[in-house]
C-alpha cells in the first residue's frame, strides 16, 4: 500500500512540475532567459491540466502539492479570464464606416501560402489594410496575379528571396511617410494610412523567433520596436507575427499603458494562429493586431490560409 501511495505521489509530481514551472515563468516580469519564452506560451492551456490534477491532489490529501497547484490555478484563471470577457459594447463595427478600418495579417511561410486564398479572404472580409510577413518576390507576383492590386491598390513591400525576412503592406488608400525599421532581422515596414481623415501609422511586425539560442535577438528586436512605436505620437496599428503571445512579458512591455491586443479586447477567447497545417492543432496566439487603447475593436477572428503554417488574423478597428 505504501508503495502504491508513493508511486501515485511520484506520478502527480512528475506531471505537476512542468505546470508549476509554466506558472512561475508567467509570474516573472522578464522572459529573456531560456526556457522562459517557451514555457510561458503554454499558459492558456495549463489550467486545463492543472484543475484535474488539483482535484486528485486534494482528495488524496497531498497538501503541499494541493497548495502549489491551487495558487497556480488561481494565477492561470487571473491571466486567461480577460480573453473571455467581451467589452461592454460588443456590437460588430461596420467596416464601411469612414472611421473604421478592417485589418488583416498573414504569415506566408516563405511565400508558400496560397495567394488566391489570401486574396479571397481580403475580398470576403472587406479588408482595407493587409500586412504580410515572409513575403517573397514570387509570392508578391502571385498576389498581383490573383487580383490583390485591384482590391488594395497601394503598397509598400520589402520582399526577400529564399528567406523569411520579407514583408509587405497593402492598403485601399495611399501610403505616405513610408518607413522601414533598421537593425531587425526581418523587414518591418510601416506607413501612414488615411482612416476617415485620420492619419494612422500601420506597422508590419515580424521579429526573430525566440529560438533557444536566439532569445537575445528576439527580445532586442521587440525592445527596439517598443521604443520606436512609443516615441511616435501618431495614432498607430501594429499587425503581424510577433513571435510572442500576450503572456510574454516582452510583448506586454510593448503594449505598455498605450496599446492593447485586439484579440484580448474583443473577449472571444485567444485567437490561436500557430502551428497550422499539422496533425497538432494551433496552440499559440503569435499573430496580433495591436491598437491604441482608445481604439475599439470588433469581429476579431483567425482564419485558415492553405499553404501557411499560420492562420490569418482579421480585426475591425474603430479609429474615431
The CA–CA distances, whole Å, from 305 to 165, 274, 282, 298, 313 equal 19, 12, 13, 21, 10
Provide the grid cell at 137: 518576390
Q: What is the pLDDT of residue 97?
A: 83
- 198-205, strands of its sheet edge to edge: 175-180, 189-195, 198-205, 236-241, 287-292, 259-261
The alpha-helical segments, DSSP class H, found in 63-166 are 63-80, 115-124, 137-145, 148-151
Q: What is the pLDDT of residue 278?
A: 80
- Give the largest Cα separation in the chain, rounded: 75
Residue whose C-alpha is closest to residue 320's, from 289, 291, 284: 291
310 neighbors 273 (Cβ within 8 angstroms): yes
Q: What is the pLDDT of residue 320?
A: 82
Q: How confident is the model at residue 36 (pLDDT cuts 50, 70, 90)?
A: very high
For residue range 280-317, list pLDDT tens digits in order. 889 999 999 999 999 999 999 999 999 999 999 999 99
pTM: 0.95
Q: Where in the chain is the domain with CATH 3.60.10.10?
A: 100-318
For residue range 171-221, list pLDDT tens digits in order. 999 999 999 988 899 999 999 999 999 999 999 999 999 999 999 999 999
Query: Is the model's pLDDT at 90 over the cut of 90?
Result: no
Query: Is the model's pLDDT at 5 over the cut of 80?
Result: no
Give, in words, the CATH class of 100-318: alpha beta
Q: How confident is the model at residue 142 (pLDDT cuts 50, 70, 90)?
A: very high
171 neighbors 207 (Cβ within 8 angstroms): no
Amino acid at each position: 500500500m505504501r508503495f502504491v501511495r508513493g508511486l501515485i505521489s511520484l506520478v502527480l509530481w512528475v506531471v505537476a512540475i512542468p505546470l508549476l514551472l509554466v506558472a512561475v515563468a508567467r509570474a516573472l516580469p522578464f522572459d529573456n532567459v531560456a526556457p522562459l519564452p517557451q514555457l510561458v506560451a503554454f499558459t492558456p492551456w495549463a489550467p486545463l491540466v492543472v484543475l484535474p490534477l488539483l482535484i486528485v491532489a486534494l482528495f488524496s490529501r497531498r497538501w503541499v502539492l494541493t497548495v502549489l497547484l491551487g495558487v497556480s490555478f488561481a494565477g492561470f484563471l487571473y491571466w486567461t479570464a480577460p480573453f473571455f470577457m467581451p467589452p461592454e459594447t460588443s456590437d460588430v463595427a461596420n467596416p464601411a464606416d469612414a472611421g473604421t478600418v478592417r485589418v488583416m495579417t498573414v504569415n506566408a511561410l516563405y511565400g508558400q501560402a496560397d495567394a488566391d486564398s489570401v486574396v479571397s479572404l481580403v475580398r470576403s472580409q472587406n479588408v482595407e489594410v493587409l500586412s504580410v510577413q515572409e513575403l517573397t518576390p514570387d509570392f508578391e507576383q502571385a498576389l498581383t496575379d490573383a487580383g490583390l492590386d485591384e482590391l488594395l491598390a497601394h503598397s509598400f513591400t520589402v520582399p526577400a528571396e529564399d528567406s523569411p525576412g520579407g514583408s509587405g503592406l497593402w492598403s485601399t488608400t495611399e501610403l505616405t511617410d513610408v518607413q522601414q525599421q533598421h537593425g531587425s532581422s526581418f523587414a518591418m515596414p510601416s506607413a501612414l494610412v488615411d482612416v476617415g481623415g485620420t492619419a494612422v501609422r500601420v506597422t508590419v511586425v515580424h521579429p526573430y523567433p525566440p529560438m533557444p539560442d536566439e532569445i537575445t535577438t528576439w527580445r532586442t528586436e521587440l525592445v527596439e520596436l517598443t521604443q520606436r512605436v512609443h516615441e511616435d505620437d501618431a495614432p498607430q496599428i501594429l499587425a503581424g507575427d510577433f513571435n510572442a503571445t500576450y503572456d510574454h512579458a516582452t510583448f506586454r512591455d510593448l503594449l505598455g499603458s498605450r496599446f492593447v491586443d485586439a484579440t484580448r479586447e474583443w473577449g472571444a477567447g485567444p485567437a490561436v494562429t500557430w502551428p497550422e497545417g499539422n496533425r497538432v492543432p494551433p496552440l499559440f496566439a503569435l499573430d496580433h493586431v495591436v491598437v491604441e487603447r482608445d481604439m475599439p475593436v470588433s469581429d476579431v477572428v483567425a482564419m485558415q490560409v492553405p499553404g501557411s503554417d499560420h492562420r490569418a488574423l482579421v480585426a475591425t478597428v474603430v479609429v474615431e
